[in-house]
Amino acid sequence: MDDPVVTVTAHGAARVLTLNRPEARNAIDVPMRERLLEELRRAAGDPGVRAIVLTGAGGTFSAGGDIRSMEGAGPDAVRARLAPVHKAVRLIATCGTPVIAAVEGAAAGLGVSLAAVCDHVVAAEDARFVAAFGKVGLVADGGLLWTLPQRVGMGRAKEMLLFGRTVTAHRAYEIGLADSLVPSGTALDAALELAGEAAALAPLPVAAAKRLLARADRSLKRLLESEREEQAALFGSADFAEGRAAFAARRPPRFEGR
C-alpha cells in the first residue's frame, strides 16, 4: 500500500501532520488537499491534542500547488480544487488548537499560504519562501492575500506577490513571515518544544484568543464586544477555577479544557 500523502504522528499532546510527497517536493495535489483537511479536522476535534505541527517530508516544506495536476482544469474544477484548501485555511485560522508550521527548505506558492496562516512559523536557516504565483499566471490563493499583509505589512507583501522575490529564512524572520529562526534540521524539534509550551496553557482561553484574532472585522468596538462575551464564558469554566487554585497554592495547574 502506498504511503499516505499526509502522515500523522503523535508527540505527547502534539499532533504532527507531515506533507508526504517528497519525490514531488511535497507539491499539493487534490488527494493531499483532501487528506490534510481530514487530518486537521481530526486533530482539531480531539480534546487531547493541545497543538498541531505542520511540516513537510524530505527536507522540503512544500513546493506549492501541483502544477502538473492543473492541466485542462476548467472553472468548476478549479473551484473544486480550492474548496478543501479554503476549508483547511479557515480551520487553521479559527480552530481552538494552536497550529505551528515547521519549515525546512522551500515553502513556495500554496506552501507559503499554509505556513503563513499558522499561528507560529518556525523556519530553519536553509528555508526560503517564494510566492511567485504570477510566474505561472495565477493569483495568490490559500488566503495569502489576507495573511501575508498581516504578517509583513502591505509593502513587503506586494514585494513578494507582485515581483515574485524569494525571501530567505533570515529575511523572513526580520520581516515577520517567520516567528522563529533555528539551525537547519531542527525546525520540527523547535516546533514540538513550542507545542509543549502551548499544551501547558489552559485550552479554553487559547481557543478564545484564536477566535478573536481571526475576526475579519477588526474594529475596536466589535473586538471589545466579542472579548466581553468570551471572557464572561471563561470565568465560569473549571479551568479558570483550577488556574486560581493553582496560583494560590503556587503549584502547576492541571487544565482539562472544560
Express each pLDDT in 155-197 by its tens digit: 999 999 999 999 999 999 999 999 999 999 999 999 999 999 9
pLDDT at residue 1, as a whole number: 39
Q: How confident is the model at residue 227 (pLDDT cuts 50, 70, 90)?
A: low
57-66 mean pLDDT:
95
| Residue 137 near residue 157, CB atoms below 8 Å | no
Q: How confident is the model at residue 240 (pLDDT cuts 50, 70, 90)?
A: confident
188-214 mean pLDDT:
94
Task: Name the pTM for this structure.
Answer: 0.90
Q: Is a pLDDT exceeding 80 seen at residue 215?
A: no
Q: Is a pLDDT exceeding 80 seen at residue 72?
A: no
90-110 mean pLDDT:
96
The sheet that has 51-56: what strands, in order across it? 6-11, 14-19, 51-56, 99-103, 120-124, 180-182
Q: What are phi and psi of 221, to 5 degrees?
A: -60, -50
With pLDDT > 90 as the criterion, what percentage of the chain qualifies?
A: 70
pLDDT at residue 220, as a whole number: 64
Q: Which residues contact 123 (CB under 8 A, 6 or more apart)?
A: 103, 129, 169, 172, 173, 177, 178, 180, 181, 182, 187
Type and span of the H or E element at 92? helix 75-94
CA distance 84 to 80: 8
Q: How confident is the model at residue 139 (pLDDT cuts 50, 70, 90)?
A: confident
Q: Is a pLDDT exceeding 90 seen at residue 20?
A: yes
Three cell numbers at 176? Answer: 515577520
